[in-house]
Amino acid sequence: MIILFLQITFYTILVSGSSLSDQVHQTPAHMYKKPGEQVNISCSHSIQSYNRILWYKQLKDRRQLDFLGYMMGDSGLPETGSGVNITGSANKDQNCTLTVEGLKLNSSAVYFCAARIQCDTGAEAYFGKGTKLTVLEPDHPITKPTVKVLPPSLQECRNSKDSERKKTLVCVASGFYPDHVSVKWKIGETETTEGVATDNAALRKGKTYSITSRLRVSAEKWFNPDNKFTCIVTFYNQADSYEDFPDEIRGVEAEGEGMTREKYLKGTQRLKLSYGVFIAKSCVYGAFVVFLVWKLQGKHNK
């Protein structure tokens, strides 16, 4: 019955949004292991009166969680056939450890812990941020990503109003294994999340993965050579080491893209200056003509 109850309440628990989730600490965030090895995942909490830690496993491309067991106080109670061991303590400020031995390829998953009080109280459970485990496949070496930022299409939103025009920059990270990556964007030196859309998961092709992220910005920002757009792909490189792989592109001059307000103002200023120079030259030329006429009249009178 406990498994059924936990599966029914899981999605409600995840979206509870309470700040108490910040008091559940799960480490590490990422792990690589070889087949046959074992992993230890730690979980602790600082929530008063909570005395249970539950453990789950979520396979790739599945929303459902598999319940692995739980610790109540100082007693570990793994599910029969789960292949895990649960040790330590589930009390406040203590550490609970999930051990998975004899890893297989299908052990690759995201593992979650959740702290809660006794099930019959109706109290919510609060989840850790998860541990992503990849059991490395034979003959698949760990490979770092290649990152490239592609400029917007020349045809994108050409006929839209100036105030509505957007340009889409595309960041492609490819050729990496395994798929422990995250993507972020910067405009100038400032990180941005506005207009960012990143694939939910990396796409597998052969022995490696690729992932795509898009950044939509206003045409005004893109048509400015002073603006720099940077895509940063962070790759987990074992031993709690993370490595950044950036690529950048700069904005361009607006050629053949219609009249923007900035271009209109600059053009108007140039036109005013040219007109002023023309008037000044005309005045000088007119004065010179008047002088010549006066001289000729003077000679004629003599």
Task: Count Cα atoms within 13 angstroms, Cβ side, for 197.
Answer: 7
Is 19 in the same domain as 82? Answer: yes
pTM: 0.74
Is 224 in the same domain as 205? Answer: yes
Are 225 and 253 a contacting pair, CB within 8 Å?
Answer: yes
> Which residue has better confidence, 8 or 233?
233
- Does the structure show a pLDDT above 90 at 13? no
Is 236 in the same domain as 171? Answer: yes
Looking at the DSSP bridge assignments, the partners of residue 40 are: 99
Q: In which band, very low, low, confident or very high, does the pLDDT at 300 lie, cut at 50, 70 and 90?
A: low
Are 57 and 44 a contacting pair, CB within 8 Å?
Answer: no
Q: What is the mean pLDDT of residues 24-44?
A: 96
The pLDDT of residue 270 is 62
Place of tokens 């045409």: 219
- Does the structure show a pLDDT above 70 at 36? yes
Q: Mean pLDDT lowest for which of 80-89, 162-171, 210-219?
A: 162-171
Select from 88, 109, 135 the last residue of a domain: 135
The pLDDT of residue 203 is 96
The pLDDT of residue 1 is 36
Q: DSSP for 76-144, please give it.
A: EEEPTTS-EEEEE--STT-EEEEEE-S--GGG-EEEEEEEES-GGG-PPPEE---EEEEEPPTT---BP
Is 118 in the same domain as 234? Answer: no
- Does the structure show a pLDDT above 80 at 290? no
Buried b (16+ CB within 10 A) or exposed e, 144-178: ebebebeebeeeebeeeeeeebebbbebbbbebbb
Are 73 and 91 a contacting pair, CB within 8 Å?
Answer: yes
- Does the structure show a pLDDT above 50 at 71? yes
Q: What is the mean pLDDT of residues 58-64?
A: 84
The pLDDT of residue 165 is 85
Task: Quote the number of domains for the chain.
Answer: 2
Distance CA 179, CA 233 (A): 11
Q: What is the mean pLDDT of residues 240-264?
A: 76
- Does the structure show a pLDDT above 70 at 245? yes
Q: In which band, very low, low, confident or very high, does the pLDDT at 221 lie, cut at 50, 70 and 90?
A: very high
In a domain? residue 269: no
Is 126 in the same domain as 177? Answer: no
Based on the number of CB atoms within 10 Å of its own CB, is 18 exposed (0-12), middle (13-18) or buried (19 or more)? exposed
Q: Which domain holds residue 183?
A: 146-250
Select from 216, 234, 250 the last residue of a domain: 250
Instruction: Tell me the three state secondary structure of residue 64.
Output: coil
Select from 66, 100, 135 the last residue of a domain: 135
Quick one: which of 106, 114, 88, 146 has its CA closest to 6? 114
In a domain? residue 294: no
- Does the structure show a pLDDT above 60 at 233? yes
Most confident stretch, 19-33, 176-190, 268-282: 176-190
Q: What is the mean pLDDT of residues 215-239?
A: 94
Tell me, what CATH number does 107's domain have? 2.60.40.10
- Does the structure show a pLDDT above 90 at 209? yes
Instruction: Tell me the three state secondary structure of residue 269.
Output: helix
Distance CA 115, CA 95 (A): 12
* pLDDT tens string 80-131: 999 999 999 999 999 999 999 999 999 999 999 999 987 656 678 899 999 9
- Does the structure show a pLDDT above 50 at 4? no
Are 211 and 202 a contacting pair, CB within 8 Å?
Answer: yes
In a domain? residue 150: yes
The pLDDT of residue 118 is 72
